[in-house]
Amino acid sequence: MAPFNASERNPQDFSNVERHEAPSSIRMSEIISALSYALDLTEGQPMGHSVRACMIGMRLAQQIGVSADEQTDLYYALLLKDAGCSSNASRLFHILNADEIRAKGDVKTTDWTRVGWESLHYALTHVATGMPFLQRMQRLFQVAATQQQDSCTLVKIRCERGSYIAKQLGFSDSVSTGIYNLDEHWNGRGYPDGLRKHEIPLFSRIANLSQTLDVFFTAKGPNVALEAAQKRSGRWFDPDLVKAAASLANSGALWDGLDDRDLLRKIASLEPENRRMTATEDSIDKICTAFAEVIDAKSPFTYRHSSGVADAAVEIGQWFGMNAKGLKQLRRAALLHDIGKLSVPNSILEKPGKLTNEEWISVKAHPYFTLEILKKIPGFDRLSQDAAAHHEKLDGSGYWRGWGSEQLSRFARILAVADIFDALHAKRPYRDGMPLEKVFEILRSDAPHALDLPCVEALIASKTNSEPLAFIQPETAVAT
C-alpha cells in the first residue's frame, strides 16, 4: 500500500456541505423556539412548554394593550425564560439527593409558599427518596431548616444565568430583566430580590403567570389552570393579569391551539411582523455557543465538554482540508450534540457507582432527544442526524439506534472520535484528564472496528503536529 502523503488529503471530498447549510432566510425565533424544547426537558415539563407559555403570554399582552415594540421583547423573554435552568440542576440535586428534574416539574403544580399538606407531601415524595429511613428523615429536616435560603440561592443562580444568556445573544435589557425577575411574586415573597407589585417588571409578571397556566393546563386541564391562577391572584400574580386571563379563557381565546401538533408554526405567527429578525451566520453561531453553555452548565462533570468536542472535531476537519462552510456546520453539530442530555437527571449524571438498567435507558435516550430538538430547526435536518449519532459505532455496537458504518456520515464519524477524546482528556472535578498518550492508545484500540481510523489518526496528527500512520488512506476518512 502506498505511503500516505499530506497532499492527498483531497479537500474536495469535504466541499459538498450544502446539505448541512441552514437556509439564509431562517428567523431567530425559529431557532430559539425549537431549542426551547431542550429547556423544557430540564424543567421537567413536556416538550413545548416554553412555546405554549409564550403563546399564552403574547395573548395576555395583546389583551392588556402592550405595544407592538414591547411585544417583540416579551416574545423572546417568554421563549428564553428558562435559559438558566440547567445552572442550578447540580446544586438542587445535592440538596434533595434525588431526581431534580422530577422535583422541578412537580414543584410547578405545588403551592410551596404555604405550609400544609401540599408542601409536606411534596417534600416526602422528592427528598432523599432512595435513602434509608433514618437518613431520609435527617435529610428532610435539613432541607426544611434551610428551605428559604436554598430556594433564594437556587432561583438567583438560575435567573442570573438566564439573564446573562439573553444579553449574550444580543437581546435588550427588557428581555434580560424580564428573565431575571421571573420568580418574583406580587406579594413580595418571591425570589431573587423580593420585589413587590409593580416593582416587578411587566414581562416577568406575564411570564410567571403564563408558565403556571400552561403547567396546569397540560397536567390538569383548562378549568383547573384558571382556578389555580385565581387562587394565587394577589399573592403570586398581578390581579389585573389574572382577570385578563379569565376574560380570554371565557372567550375561548386563551387555550386555543395549545394542544396543536404544529406548535412551532403557531408560535412563529405570533412574533410581531414588523420586528421579525432574520438570523445571520454570526447570530446562529452565538445561539449554538450559548446553548452549548446551557448544556455544559448542568453538571460540573460536563464543564466545557461541548466546546471541547467542537474544538477537537474542527481540528479533524481542518486536517482533512474541510472547507469553511463544512467546518462551521461541523462546529455547530458538535456544540449541540449533547443537547438531549438535558433530559438526564443529575442523580444519574453524577452517580459515582454503576448505573442500573433503568438509568442506562435514560442515558441512552439522550441522542434521541438531540435529534428531536435539532430537527425542528429549519435546515438542520442533516445536522441533527449527525449530532444524534455521536455515540454510534462503525460495528453497530453504539447507541441509540445501533447504526453501522453504512449509516454513519463523515460528520458523525468525526463527532464520535471528538466526543470520546474530550471525555477522556478533559479535566473533571473528580479526576484529572488522561495524558494524551493514554487517550491516543484508547482511541486506537477502538479503531477501525468501532471508530473511524483515519479520523482517529487525523486527530492524533493534529494534536502532535505529525503525519498520521503511513497506511491510512484519505478516501476512507470521507465515507458518507
CATH number of the domain residue 343 falls in: 1.10.3210.10
User: Is the separation of the CB atoms in 80 and 32 below 8 Å?
Assistant: yes
Q: Catalytic pick from 108, 328, 341, 376?
A: 341
Type of residue at 67: S
Gap between the terminal Cα atoms of the chain: 23
The helix/strand/coil state of 395 is strand
Residue 146 lies in a domain: no
- Which residue stretches of the chain have pLDDT < 50? 1-19, 470-471, 473-480
In the residue annotation, 266 being an active-site residue is answered as no
Residue 192, preceding peptide bond in cis (omega within 30° of 0): yes
Residues 251 and 177 in one domain: yes
Residue 371 lies in a domain: yes
- Final residue belonging to a domain, choices 250, 275, 300: 275
User: Is the separation of the CB atoms in 270 and 8 below 8 Å?
Assistant: no
Residue 130 lies in a domain: no
Q: What is the pLDDT of residues 61-107, one digit of tens each?
A: 999 999 988 999 999 999 999 999 999 999 999 999 999 999 999 99
Residues 198 and 293 in one domain: no
Residues 209 and 311 in one domain: no
Distance CA 394, CA 108 (A): 43
- Final residue belonging to a domain, choices 254, 275, 296: 275
Report angle CA 45, 48, 54 to the nearest 5 degrees: 105
Give the orientation angle of helix 89-96 with respect to helix 100-107, to 10 degrees: 90
For 320-358, letters b (16+ CB in 10 Å) and e give: bbbeebbbbbbbbbbbbbbbbbbbbbbbbbbeeeeeeee
User: Is the separation of the CB atoms in 327 and 311 below 8 Å?
Assistant: no
Residues 366 and 472 in one domain: yes
Q: Give the burial class of 425: count Cβ atoms within 10 A of its Cβ; 0-12 exposed, 13-18 middle, 19 or more buried.
A: middle
Residues 291 and 246 in one domain: no
Residues 245 and 388 in one domain: no
- DSSP codes joined into one string, 190-221: -SSS---GGGS-HHHHHHHHHHHHHHHHHHH-
User: Is the separation of the CB atoms in 45 and 215 below 8 Å?
Assistant: yes
Residues 415, 416, 418, 424, CA torsion sign = positive
Give the residues across from 278 on adjacent strands: 27
Residues 185 and 74 in one domain: yes
User: Is the separation of the CB atoms in 360 and 342 below 8 Å?
Assistant: no
Q: Which residues contact residue 158 at a Cβ distance below 8 angstroms, ignoring those fewer than 6 apart?
A: 84, 85, 87, 88, 183
Q: Over 73-108, what HEC string results? A: HHHHHHHCCCCCHHHHHHHHHHHHCCCHHHHHHHHC
Distance CA 421, CA 446 (A): 12
Residue 127 lies in a domain: no
Residues 360 and 219 in one domain: no
Residue 307 lies in a domain: yes
- Final residue belonging to a domain, choices 275, 301, 325: 275
Residues 349 and 203 in one domain: no
User: Is the separation of the CB atoms in 175 and 207 below 8 Å?
Assistant: no
Number of domains the chain contains: 2
The residue segments making up the domain with residue 35 are 28-86+152-275
Residue 124 lies in a domain: no
Q: Which residues contact residue 456 at a Cβ distance below 8 angstroms, ignoring those fewer than 6 apart?
A: 417, 443, 444, 446, 447
Q: What is the pLDDT of residues 6-28, one digit of tens each?
A: 333 443 344 444 345 555 589 99
The residue written with cell numbers 482533512 in the block is: 320
Residue 160 lies in a domain: yes
Residues 18, 21, 27, 30, CA torsion sign = positive
Residues 13 and 32 in one domain: no
Residues 314 and 188 in one domain: no
> For 166, phi and psi rounded to 5 degrees?
-60, -40
Residues 269 and 284 in one domain: no
Residue 133 lies in a domain: no
Distance CA 57, CA 245 (A): 9
